[in-house]
Each structure stands twice: as C-alpha cells, then as structure tokens.
C-alpha cells in the first residue's frame, strides 16, 4: 500500500498536468502539501483519507469534480492500459440500462422518463431512442433527473436533440485544456428515436442532480424548451478524467469546461436553478399539475 504522501504526489502530478484552469494548480498543490506536512492525513484509512483530501481540494478550489475517490474495485496502475475511466463507466451504463430507470404513462397522457445516468451517444443511442419512442404519443413529457448523477457530454447533446426540429440548434461548446481547442455541440440531424416537438416538457431536479444531468436541465432551460421544477442542483459543469493513483484510489481531474450557447456560462458552483422551486419530493406532483393545466385537462 503506497503512503499517503506517495498518493498525493501522484494526484498532484495529474492535477498539475491536466486541470482545466492551470493558473489554480500552484495554490492547490501548496494547500494540500501544507496539510500533509501538518499531519492532517495521519492515521486515516483509505476512504477517510480520500474524503479529507477532497474536502481540502474543494476548499482551495471549489470545483465539485476535483476529488479523490475510493473504489473497492482494484485499479490497473499500468499507464499503457489506462483509459481515464471510460471503459469502467461504459460497463456501469450497460449494467444500469444506459441510465434509463423507468418509462411510464401517467394520467392525462403525460409521459415520464426517469433517467439516472446520461449514456454515451454511441452505445446508449438505441436505448435513448427506444425510451423516446415509448413516450412519442404523449401530450406532455416529464424528464425526471432528480437522481441523475452524471454521464457523457455527447449523450447529453443526444437527449437534448430530441426536443428540437433539426440540426440547427447550437447547444453549447466545450473547451479542452489538453488540446487547447473548443468543440461545438449542435442538435443532431439523425436521431435514434422520434423528435418530441410542440408539446410541453418539464425537467425534475434535486440537490443530488449532477454533471451530465445538470447539462441536460441547463441546456433545455436556457433554450426555453423545458420548465425546470424542483431543487437547485449540485453544480458540477467540468468534464472530467479519472486516473488511478493507488490500487483503490482515483483522482478525478476536470480537464474541460462547458460554455452554453445562450448564456455564455455554465452551472459550475451555482447549480441549475429551477423555474419552479419546490422540494424534490413534491417536484413530480407539481410538474403533473402544471402539465395538466397547460393541456386544459
């Protein structure tokens, strides 16, 4: 088992090399090394050590994606076999039905999609299309993201594309530090399922909604395509890579930032603020009532 100092060395190397805001890395390193020298991590087991370092990272740099994670699954530390966590996340998505937990038909011809992860656009596209097919004949749609903990930017763009008529809608841009380049995300011309047009859409959020789930909520809200109902979300807008720094410890390093095409900003640190603020437990009922009123039912 490597020492805490060795893990911190490896983690700081990754942060210094990849963090999307390189000007902040010196302050991050100084703060963590000061804590290490003061003995703040002495006697902590693996999970507690990760929690403590994460709290200190976010204290000096309040980025929700910047953290150490403990994993029970042993990690391959051979650099030649690492893929920044992509393979593991794709496997998780397969095990969780590409993030789609539930599709339901509610009273008043309201469709409900309960989405817990935002899938990869390639592997997850058929499942997303199938879900949209099942709600295609509804009069209004509720997209429940209250338990959505994140996912893929390409998948977020694919979900959003179903709510616009063509490929002419600019969703957002993404600046990547490694390549010093900006990639544009537009609605897709060809989709795996039917488009959902000219009908009301409600997005449910909670204080747990994070990352890719926030992307979908923020984008649809900014473009005026959905009403967000629920709680302000957690506030993580920076796409992230995962690097093993010990057999059971990963460092997550935000390497890019999202720039919304309408607002010019994103939800980092602030979260997505709902249009209708209610507790997460009341969000579904509130959205159903609003949908029925809008439909004149």
Task: List the beta bridge partners of residue 186.
Answer: 170
- Residue 250 included in any domain: no
Are the C-beta atoms of residues 154 and 171 closer than 8 Å to each other?
Answer: no
**Same-domain status, 111 and 231:** yes
- Whole-angstrom CA distances from 18 to 10, 29, 161, 215, 224 are 12, 13, 30, 22, 34
Give the rounded distance of the alpha carbon of 187 from its chain centre.
18
From 42, 77, 112, the end of a domain falls on 77
**Same-domain status, 101 and 160:** yes
- Residue 87 included in any domain: no
pLDDT for position 77: 77
The whole-angstrom separation of Cα 117 and Cα 220 is 17
- Residue 104 included in any domain: yes
- Residue 254 included in any domain: no
**Same-domain status, 104 and 69:** no
**Same-domain status, 147 and 33:** no
**Same-domain status, 145 and 12:** no
Are the C-beta atoms of residues 116 and 153 closer than 8 Å to each other?
Answer: no
Q: Domain of 37?
A: 4-77
pLDDT for position 84: 63
**Same-domain status, 69 and 139:** no
| pLDDT of 31 above 60 | yes
**Same-domain status, 55 and 113:** no
pTM, 2 dp: 0.90
Give the pLDDT confidence of 238-294 residue by residue, as tens digits. Answer: 999 889 999 999 999 999 999 999 999 999 999 999 999 999 999 999 999 999 999
CA 69, 73, 74, 75 torsion-angle sign: negative
**Same-domain status, 154 and 117:** yes
**Same-domain status, 158 and 291:** yes
The secondary structure of residue 295, as a DSSP letter, is H
The whole-angstrom separation of Cα 183 and Cα 200 is 30
* Mean pLDDT score of the chain: 95
The secondary structure of residue 234, as a DSSP letter, is -
| pLDDT of 11 above 70 | yes
pLDDT for position 79: 62
**Same-domain status, 29 and 119:** no
**Same-domain status, 54 and 139:** no
| pLDDT of 51 above 90 | yes
The whole-angstrom separation of Cα 187 and Cα 219 is 11
pLDDT classification of 80: cutoffs 50, 70, 90: low
- Residue 82 included in any domain: no
Give the pLDDT confidence of 181-227 residue by residue, as tens digits. Answer: 999 999 999 999 999 999 999 999 999 999 999 999 999 999 999 99
Give the rounded distance of the alpha carbon of 164 from its chain centre.
21
pLDDT classification of 73: cutoffs 50, 70, 90: confident
- Residue 47 included in any domain: yes
Give the pLDDT confidence of 162-172 residue by residue, as tens digits. Answer: 999 999 999 99
**Same-domain status, 196 and 120:** yes
**CATH code of residue 139:** 3.90.226.10
pLDDT classification of 89: cutoffs 50, 70, 90: confident
Q: Report, in this order, helix, strand and coil percent for the chain, each rounded to 5.
A: 40, 20, 40
- Residue 251 included in any domain: no
The whole-angstrom separation of Cα 27 and Cα 89 is 30
| Number of structural domains the chain divides into | 2
pLDDT classification of 143: cutoffs 50, 70, 90: very high
- Residue 105 included in any domain: yes
């Amino acid at each position: 088992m490597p020492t805490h100092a060795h893990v911190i060395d490896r983690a700081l190397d990754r942060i210094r090399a990849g963090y999307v805001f390189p000007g902040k890395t010196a302050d991050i390193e100084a703060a963590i090394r000061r804590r290490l020298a003061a003995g703040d991590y002495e006697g902590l087991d693996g999970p507690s050590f990760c929690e403590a370092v994460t709290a200190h990272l976010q204290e000096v740099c309040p980025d929700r994606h910047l953290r150490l994670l403990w994993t029970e699954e042993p990690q391959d530390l051979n650099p030649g076999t690492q893929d920044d966590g992509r393979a593991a996340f794709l496997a998780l998505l397969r095990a969780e039905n590409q993030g789609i937990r539930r599709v339901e038909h509610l009273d008043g011809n309201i469709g409900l999609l309960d989405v817990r992860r935002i899938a990869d656009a390639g592997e997850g596209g058929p499942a997303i299309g199938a879900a949209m097919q099942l709600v295609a004949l509804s009069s209004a749609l509720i997209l429940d993201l209250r338990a959505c903990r994140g996912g893929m930017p390409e998948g977020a763009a694919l979900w959003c594309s179903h709510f616009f008529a063509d490929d002419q809608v600019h969703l957002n841009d993404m600046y990547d530090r490694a390549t010093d380049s900006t990639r544009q995300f537009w609605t897709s011309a060809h989709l795996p399922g039917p488009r959902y047009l000219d009908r009301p859409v409600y997005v449910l959020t909670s204080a747990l909604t994070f990352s890719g789930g926030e992307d979908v909520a923020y984008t649809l809200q900014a473009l005026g395509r959905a009403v967000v109902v629920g709680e302000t979300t957690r506030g993580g807008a920076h796409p992230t890579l995962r690097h093993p720094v010990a057999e059971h410890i990963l460092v997550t390093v935000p390497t890019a930032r999202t720039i919304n095409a309408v607002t010019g900003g994103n939800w980092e640190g602030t979260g997505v603020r709902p249009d209708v603020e209610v507790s997460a437990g009341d969000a579904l009922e509130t959205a159903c009532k609003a949908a029925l009123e809008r439909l004149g039912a």
